[in-house]
Structure 1
């Protein structure tokens, strides 16, 4: 049985853990017996979440600071001798028309939502593959399945994160490390309030869809139940958003086909041809 079916005693590291989905995942993981590592920029807010999580390690840093990330990775691995599950969750959304949006907004969102999450994963995959076990959870979005107006930068980053996760899943398919891509729809968090506008300033107000969205704790339970069941592509949404995500769901047979290519030496053949 894959270790991820049982979170008890496992070390789980979550970025963006000070609020929203990240905080809900931390609390739910702790309730299931996991030892949580909490990362984000706001140490005080992380400490508040940690207060609900039993034994926890707080590692505050900006996900764009690769030196700080490397230091945090060493501390996370060293805390209990390894990281069993990691959630690349840190991110920021957008509410602006492409016609009006400054290029710096695209750079900032892609840097935070895509590049920094890849760097987070890259620091752990060698460790997990060497141990022959582990799980990586990438928080994409239904907007990473279906391009959503007013979110061109966000959709670009979340589509990219899903692509990285899918390719990585194939590469790691023979190592014992599982990869799970999670596509939330509207979840009741501060994501819309904190979204960037056309000039890069925070929006400062929420959306009706977000306010009436899935409670974060309910979404977190659904995500973890799906990971425990071994689901590779996890759509956590309701109504029309769920329908849109399901229309773009990747068939499991395709994931299996890629894993079979790797099992038959696809990567070694490419490397030998270089």
Structure 2
């Protein structure tokens, strides 16, 4: 993917990795960025930083957890005949609660945002992307999208579901010139743990120690953008914690031992 003169739609652009990726991409020549998330004011802050690189921007707020809100945003794109060259999805919520204490409504909320909201937007954009001759779609998973992890049951499950969906989408649409990248971050220093929801569906409001010592969002964004440009199918990014992906694959018994004893915070 050559970002030059492309229109790139970035969700989760109000903070964290999504914001950092938007800023990183804003330096591409003649690029147009569509910036989405729930917090319009925060999106405008991202927009102002991007504009310092003479980047054309459009702020389009919506809520991934509300189907009508996703439909409204997609309808705006269709009505204004905006050709989307790439859709990069970073929006989502994490979790901090044990299975036994988490009511089903909290599990459903996590899936509505991380899975159903994400695939709904994809379904709205994909047909036009195919009709236009192709494009790129990237979705953000997590290292716990590759294995189960304490205190993250539905978060992990929602991310694993994204792998199944987008790998299927890729297989179906290779002939349509649709490139699909699954971004797999480890511990990145963002507010994901602060904004995670607990067993009552309330904000966790705490920065995990592991998160606080993680890779910066800016460094993460540079790695992601470099690999998006190369259309890598999986983009694994983080610190030493990403070795757990390889341990789960090649040394499953060691993974089972470690996962039951690891500090989830």
Provide TM-score, normalisation by structure 1: 0.85
Q: Distance in 1 between matches of 2:47 and 2:10?
A: 12
Q: Shift of residue 52 of structure 1? A: 1.1
Q: Shift of residue 77 of structure 1? A: 5.1
Q: What's the counterpart of residue 155 of structure 1?
A: 156
RMSD: 1.7
Structure 1, unpaired ranges of 5+: 250-274
Does the CA contact (< 8 Å) of 1:88 and 1:120 recur in 2?
A: no
Secondary structure, aligned partner of 1:124:
helix
Q: Distance in 1 between matches of 2:10 and 2:203?
A: 23
Q: Distance in 1 between matches of 2:110 and 2:67?
A: 16
Does the CA contact (< 8 Å) of 2:65 and 2:109 recur in 1?
A: no
Secondary structure, aligned partner of 2:245:
helix
Q: Shift of residue 248 of structure 1? A: 5.7
Provide TM-score, normalisation by structure 2: 0.88
Runs of 4+ with deviation above 6 angstroms? none
Q: Distance in 2 between matches of 1:219 and 1:80?
A: 32
Secondary structure, aligned partner of 2:174:
coil
Q: Shift of residue 61 of structure 1? A: 1.3
Task: Show the 5 A alignment for 1:145-184.
Answer: 145-184=146-185
Does the CA contact (< 8 Å) of 1:89 and 1:117 recur in 2?
A: no
Structure 2, unpaired ranges of 5+: 250-265
How many residues were matched structurally?
Answer: 245
Q: What's the counterpart of residue 227 of structure 1?
A: 228
Q: Shift of residue 120 of structure 1? A: 0.9
Q: What's the counterpart of residue 17 of structure 1?
A: 13
Q: Shift of residue 197 of structure 1? A: 0.8
Q: Shift of residue 65 of structure 1? A: 2.7
Secondary structure, aligned partner of 1:51:
helix
Does the CA contact (< 8 Å) of 2:180 and 2:231 recur in 1?
A: no
Q: What's the counterpart of residue 191 of structure 2?
A: 190
Task: Show the 5 A alignment for 1:249-264.
Answer: none
Does the CA contact (< 8 Å) of 2:94 and 2:192 recur in 1?
A: yes
Q: Shift of residue 238 of structure 1? A: 1.4
